[in-house]
Amino acid sequence: MTDPSAAATGDAVAAACADSYARIVAALIRVTGDWTLAEDCAQEALALALERWPGDGVPANPGGWLMTVARNRALDVLRRASVERRKLAELALLRLAGPEPATGEEIVDDRLRLVFTCCHPALSLDARVALTLRVVCGVPTADIARALLVSEATMTRRLTRAKTRIATAGIPYRVPTGPMLAERLPGVLAVLYLLFTRGYDADGEPALADEAIRLARLLVRLMPDQPEVAALLALFLLQHSRRDARRDADGNLLTLDRQDRSRWDHAAIAEAVDLLARARPAGPYALQARIAACHATAASAAATDWPAIARAYDELARIQPSPVIGLNRAVAHGFAHGPAAGLALLAEARAGGALDGYPPAVAAEAELTARRGDRERAAALFRRAAAMCRAESERRALLDRAADLSS
């Protein structure tokens, strides 16, 4: 497409879409209770915008235009289905970002209801991830299927089942309050975290990481009093800040010490550090973000504040013990207090057998063994870790380390 005005219209539709889709879907679900109708009407509004805006020009309030079109479409469908008058009246009053009907309840953004419903613990984790991408982020089903490595037919079925289950199991369209909010929020954040890692993994789909960051920003705006929400966004920004520097020219993954730090996204790092300063008390995500910030703000690999990282891992292992945190804690102590200290903690973390067959555990042992000076044994361990790896780029990086040590 060479026509600049057409391109500008395309950008305007894309921007209005990203901003409005979840609002429209969320508001229509609240009033109609019909998930499929809400999605269909939002899609039709976007399609109409693409058709009209190039000729008529972009309206002054694109979000309001889209909401009006989607609402009118929903009214048409429901009138034909002779839905009760109360619902129609409520729908007719619907405006973009309009106030809630006066029920005396606290005013809650519809999008937050949508997120909490999509991430309800009575849905499987797979269903939560798929629903969130489809309904909150507006990602087309075919794209979700591709990113999550299933067929489009399978993804369509998964989404339909999840929406049916919300209705039949009686999953409420509500943001929980009081102690239930504290219980549910980690489940919501876990979905975002999974989305991000699926996007940021070596062989992952990068668009998922962008969606996770966008969602985290939305949650930070909607729940400013929740320190773990801000901490999760900080963690995403810190990891994502290295996206352009973490591979060499051949696409091989580079470890932190070999990355060009000038290519890190320093604006994102500054934003994350600022978010983190306000994220108190420190929960599991804040501690992970603190660790990532120690790496991101070090002028060089040698200047990394390893004792601070080791302390954060000690705290993390205390409040959220897991074999992988035990592994990372061992690596941190290895840098802070010497390879012998690291190997001792690594043996401790492996004692339960949960890290058996986990390539990073073998790679960590290889790294610590190399730093203790046993190059031959370290090279053999790197080769063993490579043989266990699924992701090709990670496998190559490990074999390179083995070759370096053998030369």
**Which stretches of the chain bind other proteins, using CB under 8 A?**
32-34, 120, 122, 164, 166-172, 174, 176, 180
Q: Is 11 exposed, middle or buried (0-12, 13-18, 19+ CB in 10 A)?
A: exposed
CB of 366 to other proteins, least distance (A): 38
CB of 29 to other proteins, least distance (A): 9
Which two three-digit tokens encode residue 185? 């929020």
d(CA 218, CA 197): 18
Q: Considering only CA atoms, which of 343, 58, 384 is closest in space to residue 398?
A: 384
Q: What DSSP designation does 99 have?
A: P
Q: Which two tokens stand for residue 273?
A: 């550090």
Smallest gap from residue 122 Cβ to other proteins (A)? 6
Give me the least distance between CB of 176 and other proteins, in Å please.
7
User: Which of 400, 383, 37 shows the shortest CA–CA distance to 253?
Assistant: 400
Q: Pick the closer one to other proteins by CB: 174 or 372.
A: 174
Q: Which residues of 370-387 are buried (b: 16+ CB within 10 A; e: fewer)?
A: bbbebeeebbbbbbbbbe
Q: How far is the CB of 11 from other proteins (least distance, A)?
A: 36
Taking the least distance from each CB to other proteins, the nearer of 103 and 168 is: 168
For residues 33 and 224, which CB has a smaller minimum distance to other proteins in the complex?
Answer: 33
Long-range contacts of 369-377 (CB under 8 A, 24+ apart): 369/339, 369/343, 370/401, 370/405, 371/334, 371/339, 372/339, 372/340, 372/343, 375/405, 375/406, 376/405, 376/406
Rank residues 99 and 179 by Cβ distance to other proteins and give the closer one: 179
Residue 78 vs 231, nearer CB to other proteins: 78
d(CA 367, CA 378): 7
Q: Which is nearer to other proteins, 172 or 251 (CB)?
A: 172
Chain centroid offset of residue 136 CA: 12
CB of 78 to other proteins, least distance (A): 11
- We find the least distance from the C-beta atom of residue 162 to other proteins, in angstroms, to be 13
For other proteins, give the closer residue by CB, 49 or 123.
Answer: 123
